[in-house]
Structure 1
Amino acid sequence: MGSANEELDGKHGVQSLEVGMSILRAMATGRRSMMLKEIAEAAGMPPSKAHRYLVSLIRSGLVEQDRLTSRYDLGPFALNLGLVALDRIDRIRLGLLAITDLRDETNETVALTVWSDAGPVVVRWERPRRPITVNVVTGTHLSLLRSAGGRVFAAWLPERQTEALLRRELETGRAPAGVATLEDARALLAQVRESGVVVLSGDYFARGVEAAAAPVFNFKNEITMAIAIVGVEGSMDLSMDGETIAALRRTAAALSRRLGATLDSLAMDADIQ
């Protein structure tokens, strides 16, 4: 009997939750803070009923009330839900658009990298319109210290997420020349954070390849992706004051802002007018 009742409840849903959602939808479409009477009218219910739900919504953080004006608005948890949804749904799509535009601007191979349980992984790349290019295989896992995208993640992720992989690269001899200890790696990554971008030529994990990469940050001001420009060694201008690096900085900074990043002191913003 209890099982049948549970199944029936599951099919019908929770009516009180649906009523609460109608209040949130009314507030979201209002596009400004609202008085109780306005919310009740928009949600199609008496003010007394709307008030009871608003009390619970305030307790949950989905709604907040200005004590001076008595107006209600969406609360911090509602904002966080919206930003998390934006981060999960839009970041890859926006990243793909960004690397396509950067490919068109620079006529170089451009790759988009995200973090996985096994480290940085290439999720998409765009080929330039030139006869000799570097092919980047989607799904490739990158070295933390000998790839541009890998260094970006190693520099901006918390060390607790990268230390095991860093130690493995150091112990297996896959670290670049001059980096023999974890302290050496930390010093290298500090330089990356100071410059805001990675330029790697001559010691890339793939022979005859050079690359530059920049971090992309989300609404929490945490690294969420890396954008890399990859080419045949000696074929690109990777000087810090050159047009290629400037375009990379602009693209990464613009995408970070689209994802809600608010850091004002990012080194990658230095060349943006």
Structure 2
Amino acid sequence: MVDAGVPVALKELSAATGLTPAQVHGYLTSFRRVGLASQHSETSRYELGSYALRLGLTRLNTVPCYANAGTWLFDFSSRLDLMAMLTIFTPKGPTAINVVHAQERRIDVNIRLGTQFSTVETATGRMFMAFDSSDAAKGRGEAELHAQGAAASETVPGLEGNLRTALADARESRVLVVNGALVPGIVEIATPIFDEDGQLAAVATFLGHEDDLDEARLDSIKRAITADDTAASDRHVPDVPLGPGQWFDTGFEPMDAAPDVTGKGVQSIETAARLLQAFVYLGRPATLKELAASVGITPALAHAYLVSLKALGLVTQDTHYRLGPFAMELGLAYLRNFDPMAVVRDWLPKLSERIGHTVLLSIWGAFGPTVISVTETARAVHMNTKVGSVYSVTGTATGRAFAAFMPHDMTRTFQQAGLPKLFTERCVGVPQPFGPEERDKIRRLGFATVPRSLRPRNNAIAAPIFDLLGQVFAVVTIIGDTQHLSVEDDSPAAGIMVEETRALSHELGYIAPHAPIPG
């Protein structure tokens, strides 16, 4: 399924694995039961399940080099106000494993986790060619050059010459700038990141529009990158409110098992999957004793399973056990066909039906909280909102949810007093005081409302949806008349909102913080 990259039929899996269809079906039954595979209800084809994503993210979060680089990337992106991404080299080529959007100078580039890049044409790919001595990186570059030669042989000598010059410059300066390779007018600034052994671990790439990157600013950015030690392990961790607080601090969660999966599976597969689940739950490298206790089997039996998982690349071992590189590959393969916005949009009518109120979906746009979807119910409310409406950050429940859970640097401009009249007249809601106490309360409750004086007819409750990086993906808001929608701290509707947005964040890949397993 990883190699195919698209949903596949049972017969295709049988032919690819050399197993009989009956054998493959037995394995798939167990994979579906533990959430590692899913089956399309209309086509009956199989694809990776959502737990593949959780394994990949756990691998990403528990490898120190990746975790430290992710922290540095966020911090540096904020300082430079540039979009940034972290990429690693996978069997599919350079692949994004972390993406951070610029705070103010946002650019319209469709890059997300799992996006793959050309090895030859992009700054990101060329940095791998410059510093990655593996046969995989070299072979990928040669294959791309061969493919271009087949399409237009007269351009290859010039391309090879330019490439040699670019790689030599990259090795000397450790910064490589390419304009227009990804999208016309978008500049890439790539730099290598090395692990503790001095081997290339990843490439950090910063993206900006050419209109914002004149020669002086480019030189300043390159100096800042080269002056900063990207291999440091003690980087400053920015004080940003990533993650939804206490409502998400839950106990041992089951895998995303399909409840309708019946039939005989393979018990050993399901036991091995529970061991993999323990890594997700712990969120850190673990000992044999911890893993065995979490699954409820003997250490000897756990060791036998771990030997097989190590052979598959799903687990590695040093002083502790941790998820291996193939776990990352599973997560990235899942992401290539994953559309989080489609998941959210499919969920909105179900929430509206369950809660009985109008539901809005908002994202953070260029002018702040922007409504992109309105789902109404039979219990209509009179409101000054439509798709495209922009909400006040401090004067609406929606805006306050963004302000409480997003980094302050991204929302502070819209919270300041004295905003231009033209701007405030176009926003829904009247700006109000919003300080640390209000923010802390919203984070503690998991939802936001507005002061009583601002809601003469309607009440509103807003809660964030978090993505797989722990950042705010969108905010969901329910609106109802004051008679039918309570906004008190113990509001039943608020409890449902928190429950539903929590479940949806989980489906999008958000991994909640957990306490260690006792013993």
The TM-score range, normalised by the shorter chain, is 0.5 to 0.7
Q: How does 1:53-68 map to 2 (within 5 A)?
A: 53=136
1:105 aligns to what? 354
Q: Decide which of 361, 374, 377 is 1:128's aligned counterpart.
A: 377
Q: Decide which of 412, 421, 430 is 1:163's aligned counterpart.
A: 412
SS in structure 2 of the partner of residue 199 of structure 1: coil
8 Å contact kept, 2:468–2:508: yes
Identify the range of structure 1 (70-79 vs 247-256) with the bigger mean alpha-carbon deviation: 70-79
1:264 shift after superposition: 3.7
54 and 252 in structure 1: CA distance in 2 versus 1, 3 angstrom threshold: same
1:48 aligns to what? none
- Report the aligned-residue RMSD: 3.9
1:188 aligns to what? 438
CA distance in 2, matches of 1:131, 1:249: 23
1:151 aligns to what? 400
Q: Which has the higher contact order (CA 8 A, sep 6+)?
A: 2
SS in structure 1 of the partner of residue 348 of structure 2: helix
Q: Deviations over 1:21-76 (max 9, x none)?
A: xxx727998889xxxxxx9xxxxxxxxxxx94389799777xxxx9x956446557
CA distance in 2, matches of 1:138, 1:162: 21
CA distance in 2, matches of 1:78, 1:60: 15
153 and 224 in structure 1: CA distance in 2 versus 1, 3 angstrom threshold: same
1:245 shift after superposition: 1.2
1:202 shift after superposition: 2.7
1:156 shift after superposition: 0.8
Task: Write the letter of the residue equivalent to 2:364.
Answer: W
Q: Deviations over 1:219-273 (max 9, x none)?
A: 11111111110123343123332321121111101110010111247xxxxxxxx
8 Å contact kept, 1:201–1:209: no
8 Å contact kept, 2:361–2:371: yes
Task: Write the letter of the residue equivalent to 1:190.
Answer: D
Q: Which has the higher helix share?
A: 1
1:97 shift after superposition: 2.2
8 Å contact kept, 2:5–2:336: no
8 Å contact kept, 1:98–1:251: no
CA distance in 1, matches of 2:437, 2:379: 37
Query: What TM-score do the two structures reach when normalised by structure 2?
Result: 0.35
Task: Write the letter of the residue equivalent to 1:197.
Answer: F
8 Å contact kept, 2:404–2:440: yes
71 and 255 in structure 1: CA distance in 2 versus 1, 3 angstrom threshold: closer
8 Å contact kept, 2:466–2:473: yes
1:263 aligns to what? 512
1:117 aligns to what? 366
Q: Deviations over 1:171-213 (max 9, x none)?
A: 979432xx2xxxx523321221121111225344x76332001
CA distance in 2, matches of 1:132, 1:157: 29
- Give the gaps of 5 or more residues in structure 1: 1-23, 33-38, 40-50, 266-273
Task: Write the letter of the residue equivalent to 2:511.
Answer: T
SS in structure 1 of the partner of residue 499 of structure 2: helix
1:84 shift after superposition: 5.8
8 Å contact kept, 1:127–1:133: no
2:175 aligns to what? none
1:228 aligns to what? 477
131 and 193 in structure 1: CA distance in 2 versus 1, 3 angstrom threshold: closer
2:497 aligns to what? 248
1:215 aligns to what? 464
132 and 150 in structure 1: CA distance in 2 versus 1, 3 angstrom threshold: closer
Q: Size of the alignment, in residue pairs?
A: 212
Q: Deviations over 1:112-161 (max 9, x none)?
A: 11111211111101111125554630111111111111111111111111
Task: Write the letter of the residue equivalent to 1:208.
Answer: R
1:91 shift after superposition: 2.1
CA distance in 2, matches of 1:126, 1:114: 15
8 Å contact kept, 1:91–1:259: yes
153 and 115 in structure 1: CA distance in 2 versus 1, 3 angstrom threshold: same
- Give the gaps of 5 or more residues in structure 2: 7-12, 18-47, 53-90, 92-133, 141-198, 203-306, 315-324, 425-429, 515-519
Q: How does 1:41-52 map to 2 (within 5 A)?
A: 52=135
CA distance in 2, matches of 1:118, 1:85: 30
2:232 aligns to what? none
